[in-house]
Amino acid sequence: KIEFGTDYSPDVSYHFNSKVSEFHYGVRHPMKPFRLMLTDHLVSGYGLHNYMDLYETRAASREELLEFHSKDYIDFLSKVTPDTVSKLPRGSLEKFNIGDDCPIFQGFYDYSVLYAGASLDASRKLLNGQSEIAINWSGGLHHAKKSSPSGFCYVNDIVLSIINLLRFHPRVLYIDIDIHHGDGVQEAFYTTDRVFTVSFHKYNGEFFPGTGNFDELGCSEGKHFALNVPLEDGIDDDSYINLFKGVMDPLITSYKPTVIIQQCGADSLGHDRLGCFNLNIKAHGECVKFIKSFGIPMLVVGGGGYTPRNVSRLWTYETGILSGMILPESLPEDSPFREWFGPDYSLYPTLGDLYENKNSKKFLENVRIRCLERIRYLQG
Ligand code: V1P
Ligand code: CA
Ligand code: ZN
C-alpha cells in the first residue's frame, strides 16, 4: 500500500503515450524506448495514477518544431525513412549527422514528435496553472541541435518547452542531472539571461559530447547564466548530494526562477550500461526532492538511462516523490514484466558499488567553491 508523505502533495500531471515505448532504435543500440513501458507499468502498479492528472500525449506540430529547429532540418526528418535513406544524395547523411548514434529507424519521426508533444503539453499545463508539477519521462532529449540530431536525440523537447514557457515566465532555470552534458539546451540559450542552464556531468574532454567544461559560462547577455559542473568517474551518493544542494540552493535563491525544468537522466545511476557514476536511486531522487522543496512550478523530464530495469525503478520512485507519496520498497506483485526486477524485486536495490570514486574531497570542494564564485555574479 502506498501512503501520503509528510510533505506537500502538489497538483501533478503525468504526460505519456504508450506508442512512444513501441519504437526501436535498433538491436545493438543502447537507447530502449521500452524502458518507458516498464516505468508506466510500475507507476500504475503502485497506484500512482490515482494521485495525478493523466494526459495521453499528442504529436507536436510542424509549426511547434519550427519554433527552434530549422525548416531544412524538419523537412529532412519528416521525409526520410529507412527505405529512402540509402537513396539520398551523397553528403546528406553527413550534413544531418545520421549514423550509429542517430539512426533512421522505422517511425523515428513519429517517435520524436510524440516525446516533444508530451513536453509541450506539460509546459502548457504549467502555463495555465492547472499543474504545479508536470512529468514527461519520454522527454529530456537534451543533445538535439537546431539543424541536427545528436546523441540519440532528434528534436529538442526541452528547448521547445522552454521557448513556450518564456512567453509568460521572465526567468527559467534548467537543471540537468543526466551523466552527459546538456549541450543542446545550453547552446540554445547561451546568449540570454532569461534562461539559466546548469548541468552536472562526467567531463574529461572525450566523454560524449565532449563539451561542458567549467569555463563554458555563457556569452554576451547570457554571460554567467550557464554553469557546468564537470565530474570524474565513480561519484557516490553523499558527494553528489552535498555538491548538488550546495550549488543549487544559492543558485535558486539568487536567480529566483519563476519556473524550473529538471532533466532526470537515469544514466547517472550506478550499473548504467553507458554511465560510470555510483549513484543509488534514493540519492538521485533526493536531488529531485530538493528542487521540489522550493515550491516553484516544475517540468520534469527523463533523458538517458541504459539499464531499463533501473531506469523504470528510478522514474517510478521519482514520480512518488513528486506526487508526495511514499512507495513501499517491494515492487507491486501483480505488475506485468515483474520478471525484469528479480531476484530482489526491490524499488531501490544497491547500485553504488561498481566504480572507484575518482572525485577526491579536495577536488569536489574546489568544484563547489568555483561554482559559488560564479553564482556570486548573479547578486550583482
Ligand atoms: O560516443 C559517441 C560518439 C560516437 N563516436 C563517434 C562518438 N556517442 C555516444 C552517445 C551517447 C549519447 C547519450 C545520450 C543522453 O545524454 C541523452 C539521451 O543520455 C555513444 C555511446 C557511449 N558509450 O557513449 N553511442 C553509443 N555508445 C552507441 C553504442 C552502440 C550503438 C549505438 C550507439
Ligand atoms: Ca548533465
Ligand atoms: Zn545521458
CATH code of the domain containing 299: 3.40.800.20
User: Across-strand partners of 244?
Assistant: none
When the pLDDT of each residue in the chain is averaged and rounded to a whole number, the result is 97
- Per-residue model confidence as pLDDT tens digits over 237-295: 999 999 999 999 999 999 999 999 999 999 999 999 999 999 999 999 999 999 999 99
The single residue listed with the C-alpha cell 551523397 is 90
Does 272 contact ligand 1 (Cβ within 6 A)?
no
Ligand 3 mean position to 220 CA, how many Å?
28
Cα angle for residues 102, 215, 296 (degrees, 5° grid) = 75
Cα angle for residues 359, 363, 368 (degrees, 5° grid) = 110
Residues 276, 204 contacting (CB under 8 angstroms): no
Ligand 2 mean position to 28 CA, how many Å?
24
Q: Which residues are catalytic?
A: 181
Q: How many domains would you assign to the chain? A: 1
- The angle, 0 to 180 degrees and rounded to 10, between the axes of the packed helices 237-255 and 361-376 is 10
**65 has a pLDDT exceeding 80:** yes
pLDDT for the residue numbered 379: 82
What is the span of the domain harbouring residue 307? 3-379
Q: Answer left, alpha or beta for residue 42, where phi above 0 means left and psi between -120 and 50 means alpha.
A: alpha
In angstroms and rounded to an integer, the radius of gyration of the C-alpha atoms of the chain is 20
Does 230 contact ligand 1 (Cβ within 6 A)?
no
> Which atom of ligand 1 is closest in space to residue 153's alpha carbon?
18
Where is pLDDT greater, at 353 or 142? 142
And the C-alpha cell for 24? 526501436
Dihedral Cα 40, 111, 61, 70, nearest 10 deg: 130
Cα angle for residues 209, 214, 215 (degrees, 5° grid) = 100
Cα angle for residues 372, 235, 213 (degrees, 5° grid) = 50
The single residue listed with the C-alpha cell 561542458 is 212
Percent of the chain with pLDDT over 90: 94
Q: Which helix (H) or strand (E) holds 185?
A: helix 183-188
pLDDT for the residue numbered 9: 85
Other beta carbons less than 10 A from residue 5's beta carbon: 15
Does 207 contact ligand 1 (Cβ within 6 A)?
no
pLDDT for the residue numbered 162: 99
What amino acid occupies position 60?
Answer: A
Beta strands of the chain (E only): which ranges? 3-4, 12-16, 53-56, 133-136, 172-176, 195-202, 226-231, 259-263, 298-301, 325-326
- Per-residue model confidence as pLDDT tens digits over 116-164: 999 999 999 999 999 999 999 999 999 999 999 999 999 999 999 999 9
Chain mean position to CA 266: 8
